[in-house]
């Protein structure tokens, strides 16, 4: 089983629209939405949930006011300023390190696990999909990303399917790093803007650091043709293969409004044809990779 992860650095570059289009073109692929704190792939793929599971977070400090002698030791030791002067825990600041619980002389503090989100195994018209919803204002997004990718890979294995297509989150931080271990190929979706180019450089540095093969799609390429050309040169200098250009098209928004992929909504359109060409190149690249890297073990 091999996994293609769609990333972009900068948000709004078109990761989800591209992922959904690839899902429509792929046969025998399992799909994974790893953008767990702002997941959108389900809006195009209309998954029917088959399994629903809780995602439980590492714990937040809870002070038992009956036992608490108000000595203030917890307040003094917390490096995250998560305990207020009146000895209340701020859940949004608490990292769940447990230092307060360990040192409380009255044993009045305990760490309570809490529900941080949910994850799902669902059926879509293009195959099975693993996806998740992190609760609003929750942490551990990296852990949930690792979990959902592991589940998606297990699902692919059970179904005897050899490709996993993962829609990744924006940025280069914790949830993106959690998308890289074991990925066969990262597809960067980049828009030709100063911001898109700047963020691509950081994403390239990240995938190089983790030694994940990387390819490039330029989306909305005609918004700034000069910038598109500069991005192609920069990618080539970094040995990154160009998969293709997709021109700006209002069809993407229209397809989204119809809850369809661009492949279904406008199969003969220029952007749909461009993505078909990208897909053909992707298949070749994936097929030419010899060994499949194992998934990393859970943390």
Partner 1 sequence: MNICLASGKGGTGKTTIAVNLAASLDRPVHFLDCDVEEPNAHLFLDLAWRGEESVSVAVPEIDPARCNACRKCLEICRFRALTLIKGKMLTFPELCHGCGGCQLVCPEGAVSDGKRLLGRLRFGDWRHITFTGGESRVGEAMSPPLIRAVKGQAKESELTIIDAPPGTSCPMITALRGVDFAVMVTEPTPFGLHDLRLAVAAARRLALPIGLVVNRAGIGDERLADFARAENIPILLEIPFDREIAAICSRGQLLVEALPVWRREFQRLFWRIERLCQGLDAA
Instruction: Give the integer Cα–Cα distance in Å for 266 and 228.
Output: 24
Number of residues this chain uses to bind partner 1 (CB under 8 A): 66
Should residue 291 be labelled a site residue for partner 1 when binding is judged by CB under 8 A?
Answer: no
Of the listed pieces 136-144, 236-244, 269-277, 282-290, which binds partner 1 according to CB under 8 A? 136-144
Instruction: Give the integer Cα–Cα distance in Å for 236 and 105.
Output: 61
Q: Please return the burial class of 200, using the count of CB atoms within 10 Å of its CB with bins 0-12, 13-18 and 19+.
A: buried
Instruction: Give the integer Cα–Cα distance in Å for 64 and 265.
Output: 57
Should residue 223 be labelled a site residue for partner 1 when binding is judged by CB under 8 A?
Answer: yes
* CA-wise closest residue to 43 among 260, 220, 204, 231: 260
Should residue 211 be labelled a site residue for partner 1 when binding is judged by CB under 8 A?
Answer: no
Binding mask 91-130 for partner 1 (x = CB under 8 A): -x--xxxxx--xx-------x-------------------
What's the count of helices (H) and strands (E) in the chain, helices before strands? Answer: 11, 9
Should residue 206 be labelled a site residue for partner 1 when binding is judged by CB under 8 A?
Answer: yes
Binding residue (CB under 8 A) for partner 1 from 40, 106, 110, 162: 40
Should residue 271 be labelled a site residue for partner 1 when binding is judged by CB under 8 A?
Answer: no
Q: Please return the burial class of 224, using the count of CB atoms within 10 Å of its CB with bins 0-12, 13-18 and 19+.
A: middle
Which residue, 2 or 271, has its beta carbon nearer to partner 1? 271
At 269 the three-state DSSP class reads coil
Smallest separation (angstroms) from partner 1 to the CB of 76: 11
Should residue 59 be labelled a site residue for partner 1 when binding is judged by CB under 8 A?
Answer: yes
Q: Are 111 and 61 in contact (CB under 8 A)?
A: yes
* CA-wise closest residue to 162 among 44, 47, 283, 16: 283
Distance separating the N- and C-terminal Cα atoms of the chain: 21
Should residue 205 be labelled a site residue for partner 1 when binding is judged by CB under 8 A?
Answer: yes
Which residue, 1 or 124, has its beta carbon nearer to partner 1? 124
Segment 156 to 195, residues that bind partner 1, using CB under 8 A: 169-178, 191-195
Should residue 287 be labelled a site residue for partner 1 when binding is judged by CB under 8 A?
Answer: no
Should residue 63 be labelled a site residue for partner 1 when binding is judged by CB under 8 A?
Answer: no
Instruction: Give the integer Cα–Cα distance in Å for 116 and 69.
Output: 30
Which residue, 105 or 160, has its beta carbon nearer to partner 1? 105
> Which residues make beta-bridge pairs with 186?
5, 214
Q: Please return the burial class of 158, using the count of CB atoms within 10 Å of its CB with bins 0-12, 13-18 and 19+.
A: exposed
Binding residue (CB under 8 A) for partner 1 from 129, 227, 232, 262: 227
Should residue 199 be labelled a site residue for partner 1 when binding is judged by CB under 8 A?
Answer: yes
Contacts with partner 1 by CB under 8 A lie at 8-13, 16, 37-38, 40, 43, 58-59, 77, 79-80, 92, 95-99, 102-103, 111, 134, 136-139, 141-142, 169-178, 191-196, 198-199, 202, 205-206, 209-210, 220, 223-224, 227, 248, 250, 253, 256-257, 259, 299
């Amino acid at each position: 089983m091999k996994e293609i992860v769609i990333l972009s650095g900068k948000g709004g570059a078109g990761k989800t629209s591209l992922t959904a289009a690839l899902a429509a073109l792929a046969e025998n692929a399992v799909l994974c939405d790893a953008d767990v704190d702002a997941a959108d792939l389900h809006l195009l793929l209309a998954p029917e949930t088959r399994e629903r599971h809780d995602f439980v977070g590492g714990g937040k400090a809870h002070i038992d006011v009956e036992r608490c002698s108000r000595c203030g030791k917890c307040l003094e030791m917390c490096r995250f300023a998560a305990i207020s002067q009146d000895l209340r825990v701020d859940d949004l600041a608490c990292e769940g390190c447990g230092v307060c619980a360990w040192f409380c002389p009255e044993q009045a503090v305990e760490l309570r696990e809490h529900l941080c989100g949910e994850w799902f195994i669902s059926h879509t018209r293009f195959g099975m999909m693993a996806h998740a919803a992190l609760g609003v204002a929750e942490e551990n997004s990296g852990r949930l990303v690792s979990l959902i990718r592991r589940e998606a890979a297990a699902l692919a294995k059970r179904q005897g399917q050899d490709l996993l297509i993962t829609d990744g989150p924006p940025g280069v931080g914790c949830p993106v790093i959690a998308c890289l271990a074991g990925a066969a190929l990262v597809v960067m979706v980049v828009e030709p803007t100063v911001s898109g180019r700047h963020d691509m450089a950081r994403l390239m540095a990240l995938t190089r650091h983790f030694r994940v093969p990387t390819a490039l799609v330029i989306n909305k390429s005609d918004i700034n043709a000069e910038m598109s050309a500069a991005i192609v040169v920069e990618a080539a200098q970094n040995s990154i293969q160009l998969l293709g250009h997709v021109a700006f098209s209002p069809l993407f928004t229209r397809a989204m409004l119809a809850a369809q992929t661009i492949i279904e909504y406008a199969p003969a359109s220029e952007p749909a044809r461009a993505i078909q060409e990208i897909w053909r190149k992707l298949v070749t690249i994936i097929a030419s990779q010899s060994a499949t890297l194992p998934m990393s073990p859970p943390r």
